[in-house]
A and B are shown apart, each in its own frame.
Chain A
Amino acid sequence: MAYIDYYKVLGISKTAGTEEIKKAYRKLARKFHPDLNPDDKEAHRKFQEINEAHEVLSDPEKRKKYDQYGENWQHAEQFEQARSRQQQPYGQSGPGSGFEGFGGAGFDAGGFSDFFESMFGGGGARQSRSHSRFKGRDYNAELQLNLTDAYKTHQQTITVNEKNVRITIPAGIENGQKIRLKGYGEPGVNGGPAGDLYITFSIINNTAFKRDGNNLYLTHPLPLYTALLGGEVLVDTMDGKVKLKVKPLTQNGSQIRLRDKGFPVYKKEGSFGDLYITWQVQLPTHLSEKEKEVFQQLADLKN
């Protein structure tokens, strides 16, 4: 646990007055305020730091204690206990009595560093008015899904703060999509409603298909003779194999569309995108003498 130089955090001198502290805090808060930097963990961390510095330096008692012990903060408790023993009649000093006077117990000191907690105790964080809350905090979670799982509406149980929450994931969910579960966040404060739970989905493609929105794309090998003479080929789709008729003289790289064989449209039951198959004609990598002879005959025919 390292000493934190709160003056350095706010970029002010040790002789800075109340107005200067406030000004420095506001300037940095405008830059790093979490509401102005959503999803930016570094800005959140920085804001906590400047908030903590402001919490200490704007409170005369805390500032006095901080200035008094400085880098010797680790001995602050011992010093104060010794002093209170000297000042109070024998037998009246209780554990932790040296830390009283910085606000009562039961305040939410969350978001403060170990250094702060160690110096001012858990009850040391006066609940500043700006950090009052009504609605509980929102929770954010990330859930990884295989593409095959995202294809079907299904249920999953996730653990949020040691509580199991069963959620229904609608088919067709997109990579990076966020869903909100109302009331599954932190309980409300002062009679306010609970926060929400936001789940961001990260879809891992465990198939040979490529997904572009609701459409799927697949490159499928096509035997040379089927491409030339036509025939039938079995092709995978997300819900099983289908038999496709291949026209004679099908070109390499040509594409066919299988209507409604793509990905389900999110929250539109029974509605699907399309599947596009790109034929990749397989040329032989080895020819027997006989085959060479026949191909030569074909070549001669063309010439």
Chain B
Amino acid sequence: MQQQLIAAKDICNVYEIEVRFFHDLQQSGLINIIEKQNVEYINEEELEDAERMIRLHKDLDLNAEGIAVICHLLEKMKQLQTDLSNLQNRLRFFEGNH
């Protein structure tokens, strides 16, 4: 499937942020910037994460390093929630509620 690319500057215009912020995110390993004919893009699949990081940056005044810590913890939290959901399903099995 062909990946949909979105120009980084379009996102920056909407959010009124500098492209440098995206470079910081890339350096922290949080997003991938794809360069084609001197234009920087991000994959649409990464847009949701990128927007979350922008919100964290703007609302909470966090830099890329702080955002990296939060993203890591959120990922852990997501994994724990999946584990919890699986365990709840197993518990239902033993409790006899099917």
Residues on A lying within 8 angstroms of B by beta carbon are 26, 29-30, 33, 35-36, 38, 129-130, 132-135, 138, 147, 174-176, 189-193, 196, 205, 207, 209-212, 217
Given known contacts A35-B55, A38-B74, A129 and B15 CB-to-CB distance under 8 angstroms:
yes
Are B51 and A176 in touch, CB under 8 angstroms? no
Chain B minimum-CB-distance residue to A177: B85
Partner of A211, one of B10, B14, B56, B93: B93
Contacts of B60 in A (CB 8 A): 26, 29-30, 33
Choose among B4, B16, B74, B96 the residue that contacts A129 (Cβ–Cβ < 8 A): B16
Give the shortest distance, in Å, between B30 (CB) and chain A (any CB): 14
Residues of chain A lying within 8 A (CB to CB) of residue B44: 193
**B13, B14, B16, B78: which has the most chain A beta carbons within 10 Å?**
B14
B28 within 8 Å of A by Cβ? no
What are 18 of the A-B contact pairs (CB < 8 Å)? Answer: A29-B59, A36-B56, A38-B78, A130-B58, A132-B15, A134-B14, A134-B47, A135-B47, A174-B89, A175-B89, A189-B14, A192-B10, A192-B14, A193-B6, A205-B98, A207-B98, A210-B96, A217-B93
Give chain A residues whose Cβ lies under 8 Å from the Cβ of B64: none
- Most chain B CB within 10 A, of A132, A175, A196, is at A132
Contacting residues of chain B (67-98) with chain A, CB-CB under 8 angstroms: 70, 74, 77-78, 85, 88-90, 92-93, 96-98
A134 with B51: CB separation less than 8 A: yes
- B residues bordering A, Cβ < 8 Å? 4, 6, 10-11, 13-16, 44, 47-48, 51-52, 55-56, 58-61, 70, 74, 77-78, 85, 88-90, 92-93, 96-98
Select B61's contact among A26, A133, A135, A193, beta carbons within 8 Å: A26
A212 with B56: CB separation less than 8 A? no
- Contacting B11 at CB < 8 Å: which of A33, A129, A134, A196? A134
How far is A33 from B56 in the complex, measured between Cα atoms in Å? 8
Chain A binding surface SS class: loop
A209 partner residues in chain B, CB cutoff 8 A: 98
Determine how close the nearest CB of chain B comes to the CB of A102; give it in whole angstroms: 20
A212 to B98 Cα, complex, angstroms:
9
From B45, which residue of chain A is reached at the shortest CB distance? A182
Residue ID in chain A nearest B52 by CB atoms? A35
A36 vs B70: C-alpha distance in the bound complex, in angstroms?
8
Q: How far is the CA of A192 from the CA of B51 in the complex (A)?
A: 11
Bound Cα distance A260, B36 (Å): 50
Pair A191/B10 contact, Cβ less than 8 Å: yes
A38 (CB) vs chain B CBs: closest residue: B74
Query: What's the nearest-Cβ distance from chain B to residue A160, in Å?
Result: 18
Shortest C-beta distance, B47 to chain A (Å), equals 5
Residues of A close to B16: CB separation below 8 A: 129, 132
Chain B: which residue is nearest A36 at the CB level?
B70
Closest 6 CB pairs of A and B: A205-B98, A130-B58, A176-B85, A190-B14, A134-B14, A212-B93
Q: How far is the CB of B86 from chain A (nearest CB, A)?
A: 8
